[in-house]
Structure 1
Amino acid sequence: MNYPAFEEDRPLEQSTGAVSPEAGKTYSGPIVAINDKYLVQDVGSDQRLVRHSRQDLHGSSVASLASGTKVEIRYPANRIGIVSEWGAKQVEGSASKGLTPKGLCN
């Protein structure tokens, strides 16, 4: 996909085509560029790009993020971004559904 507002030949920290994230918002979409300091995410609205500082990101998948990975990044407060991958399977057993395992009922 072509991102006309994103200058791929410039360092990510100097890119004028991407905006900084805001506290209280959630950003969903694929990573379109990444380096050791920043990642740029396409959030889909008018090809809007968001530049996230990697030092502010937290979650189990942060170390393995790559260009093309679909992620959701939440900023519940301040500059802390919580990362989760789209399509990541959540473990849900019978206990989480409120069901009683067989043999435990009278």
Structure 2
Amino acid sequence: MQLIGILPWSAELGRLDVCAEVSMMSSYNAMPHVGHFHAVLHLFGYLETHPSRKIVMDSAYMALTNIPKSEWYEFYPWAKEVLPPDMPEALGGAVKIVMLVDA
């Protein structure tokens, strides 16, 4: 349980590449088993052997062409984002998340 408690700090300090694994291990913190212990040791081994891995965030706009609309648009063409009426005014530009994955 102590090792699982240490892992969120690694994710918060910049190791975003292990966020999913840390979240998964944290869900077993109430009742860990031996298999979870081995998975945590494996995760620490990964962090030790890959000390400089990182996910790069770039604030530059990337114009992508030929990207189809979301598949959900067919089912919900009338849907739009509902914002709270007492939401504070934005101080900067809007955030658009684009994820490119190389299989």
Scaled by the length of structure 2, the TM-score of the pair is: 0.21
More helix by share: 2
Q: Which has the larger Rg?
A: 2
